[in-house]
Structure 1
């Protein structure tokens, strides 16, 4: 069986989060023993000097016995970041077309 076919046959559930140049894949997969585990894959699009696109991928495997501890530490870490730095994304300020939140116009369905 090809690696591609085997990799996709054990996928049970998939969710995708597109975030700029990064895409996150949350895949529930099945072990040979019939149990489930989670893989989280970050795929980042890069462009070489010749303009050709490549994808850099990083993968985390999470098994049920680690879910609770992982979730606790994830929540603790993200809460710490928000408490310390707020919810504004500072790195966006370095984009050449950055606009503050107050400079955005919000349109409601009634105005359109």
Structure 2
């Protein structure tokens, strides 16, 4: 029987990014009682029938360097390349989406 890797997570975060993209950040155990992180981008293709996944495995010895490099890149884009861009609008959009979804579910409709 094939195991579903999503069931192996000991901690998980789901980040919606538009209509077709979702990111998953999962903490998973190793056989040797250690942990690693998987970063997964899940993209629904135009026909809606196929989902494409890209995955990165991040091991504990790389956590700090990866975080530092990612933060450096994000800061560079925000401060140097797009200093006037309103990055918080995406947070507001996510909050609106979640509020609309909760209202939809509270009216007796199944969650999507």
TM-score, normalisation: structure 1 = 0.68
Q: How many residues align?
A: 84
Bigger radius of gyration: 1
Write out per-residue CA displacement over residues 72-109 of structure 1, whole angstroms, 9 at most, x where no aligned residue. Answer: 110110000011213347xxxxxxxxxxxxxxxxxxxx
Asked whether the equivalents of residues 10 and 31 of structure 1 are also in contact (C-alpha less than 8 Å), the reply is no
Q: CA RMSD in A?
A: 1.6
Structure 2 gaps, min length 5: 88-112
**Alignment partners' CA distance in 2, 1:82 and 1:35:** 34
Match of 1:19 among 3, 17, 25: 17
**Alignment partners' CA distance in 1, 2:78 and 2:43:** 24
Report what 2:56 is aligned to: 60
Report what 1:78 is aligned to: 74
Write out per-residue CA displacement over residues 45-79 of structure 1, whole angstroms, 9 at most, x where no aligned residue. Answer: 1123xxx4311110010011001100111011000
Structure 1 gaps, min length 5: 90-112
**Greater fraction of residues in strand:** 1
Asked whether the equivalents of residues 43 and 56 of structure 1 are also in contact (C-alpha less than 8 Å), the reply is yes
**Greater fraction of residues in helix:** 2
